[in-house]
Structure 1
Amino acid sequence: MQLTAPATPRTQPRTRDADGMAVASFILGLLGLLVLNLFLGPISIALAAVALWRGTTRKGRAYLGLFLGVADLAVLGIAMAVSNTISWSL
């Protein structure tokens, strides 16, 4: 007779964490378009990448967070090029 542990879904907390990361990535990427692009852009990209790697069910939000994180850095680069400074302000 073989004894096995009952089958429990171990992916539930991991997927839920990944879903939270996808949403956080989207929100931080969106916020980063206005303030702190240098910090929020890379954080948004990292959170989106980890959420996608962990298999989030909110892939759309993760991809939007990834896109917005890249857009944050692009906006920063364009604003710095236009103003000929290391930083920019509204």
Structure 2
Amino acid sequence: MQLTAPATRRTALRDADGMAVASFILGLLGLLVLNLFLGPIAITLAAVALWRGTTRRGRALLGLTLGIADLIVLITLMQVDHTVSWSF
């Protein structure tokens, strides 16, 4: 059983690191397109990565911040256009 526990921990940590990177990328991409969908996904991935103890904490926090910024940009542009969606 000791042989599987460290391997399981490494796999979980690698998954958390992947989620942190994915949240950053989706949050960044969400500033340009599909922020209604990508913002909440970035927030969720960042929260799960932080909860699992990622070694890329800064990247997860940046993904969380970008996800929140995605939703703020969406709300702002929706208020300006008076529509449910926005476009350039």
Bin the TM-score by the shorter chain. over 0.9
Q: Percent of counterpart pairs with the same letter?
A: 71
Query: After the TM superposition, which parts of structure 1 deviate over 6 Å for at least 4 consecutive aligned residues?
Result: none
Q: Please list every run of 5 or more consecutive structure 1 residues that lacks an aligned counterpart in the other structure.
A: none
What value does the CA root-mean-square deviation take over the aligned residues?
A: 1.0
Establish whether residue 21 from structure 1 lines up as the match of residue 19 from structure 2. yes
Which structure shows the bigger proportion of residues in helix conformation?
2
Structure 2 stretches lacking a partner, 5+ long: none
Equivalent position SS for 1:60: helix
Matches for 1:73-84 after TM superposition, within 5 Å: 73-84=71-82
CA-CA distance at 1:84 after TM superposition: 1.1
1:85 Cα offset (Å): 1.0
Aligned counterparts of 1:18 and 1:64: Cα–Cα separation in 2: 15
* Structure 1 residue 86: Cα displacement: 1.0
Q: TM (normalized to structure 2)?
A: 0.93
User: How big is each residue's C-alpha offset from its partner over 1:9-64, in whole Å with a ceiling of 9 and x where there is no partner?
Assistant: 13100000000000000000000000000000000000000000100000000000
